[in-house]
Amino acid sequence: MHTVFGPVPSRRFGRSLGVDVIPKKLCSMDCVYCEVGRTTMRDIIRKEYIPTSWILRELALRLALRPPIDCVTFSGSGEPTLHAGLGHMICMVKGMTDVPVVVLTNGSLLWKEDVRQDLLAADIVSPSLDAVSEDIFRRVDRPHPRLSAVQVIDGMCKFRKEFKGTYLLEMLFVSGINDGDEEVLRLRDAAKRIAPDKIQVNTILRPPAESWAKPVDHERLLKIRDMLGPMAEIIAPTSLKAGVPSMNMSQDDVLALLRRRAMTVDEIAEAANIDRQAAETTLAVLRVAGLATLVDFGGRQYFDATRD
């Protein structure tokens, strides 16, 4: 099992080496827009789901190759704060590399003191807040029954008071669900309480868990950004630094990327440091083996790992 993947081009953080500390689709939520697919195990109990020593060993081996990266990011197939060893892993990674350590989280467990303590050593923490109204929260994020929007927001506010690093609040908008003016204004007011360094506005860009979940058009996204205020920005398209080489990846490495998110041929070629024809060949082999599928979304073709 690959727990370390990439480097992959990130729209927010540059070239990111990903660390996946949770089994696929174990999460506290089942968001309709999730690019990994539907959650198969929904929980809020923290455990050492994958041995911490195993993850750190794989990460140390990968970092020893001195990959050209801008950050190490805890993210991937599920909610990383569910792993009970997350805090220890963050501290260990900071001893292995000088690049920033990033944690991408849905923010649902920040009401837990031990989760907040674990995240204090990170350089950048980016939780997601998609709704304030309880009914919309349950429609778009489909959280564990013991979670509420009020509880999640309160946890984010508490963490802001304790965390000294960069705090980025992401908001993802789904057409017809959480993009109405009233909900956007509620999100604006919640963000004022949370006081992040930035609000990063996003919409669906890859095949989502639910085919009926649709992205917000760019014009509407611009209006939402303006309604949220001067701290808000729309996340720009991926742009890798010119002249920075990637690592040559094996077929298994490419499949590890696809298990985390669907990607186009060009994205695979860039991430794997291979030409387009080689990327097409690798993806064709994975398709013939039944390990990858081709998905049309938004007028583009994406390759995705075959989902159970």
Q: What pTM did the predictor assign?
A: 0.82
Mark whether 277 and 183 lie in a shared domain: no
* Residue finishing a domain among 247, 263, 294: 247
Mark whether 152 and 271 lie in a shared domain: no
Domain count, the chain: 2
- Report whether 236 contacts 222 (CB < 8 A): no
Mark whether 239 and 265 lie in a shared domain: no
Mark whether 200 and 284 lie in a shared domain: no
Mark whether 162 and 294 lie in a shared domain: no
Domain holding 78: CATH number? 3.20.20.70
Q: Which domain holds residue 112?
A: 4-247
| DSSP conformational letter for 17 | E
* Residue finishing a domain among 247, 274, 290: 247
Q: What is the full per-residue pLDDT of the chain (308 aa) written as tens digits?
A: 578 887 887 878 888 898 999 987 899 999 999 988 899 899 999 999 999 999 999 999 989 888 888 999 998 788 999 999 999 999 999 999 999 999 999 999 999 999 999 999 999 999 999 999 999 999 999 999 999 999 999 999 999 999 999 999 999 999 999 999 999 999 999 999 999 999 999 999 888 999 999 999 999 999 999 999 999 999 865 444 433 444 556 777 787 778 777 888 888 777 766 777 877 788 888 887 888 888 888 778 888 887 66
| CA 87/CA 113 separation, integer angstroms | 12
* Residue finishing a domain among 227, 247, 267: 247
CA atoms within 13 A on the CB side of 4: 21
Q: CB within 8 A of 144, min separation 6: which ones?
A: 28, 29, 42, 43, 44, 108
Domain holding 256: CATH number? 1.10.10.10
- Report whether 21 contacts 74 (CB < 8 A): yes
Mark whether 153 and 237 lie in a shared domain: yes
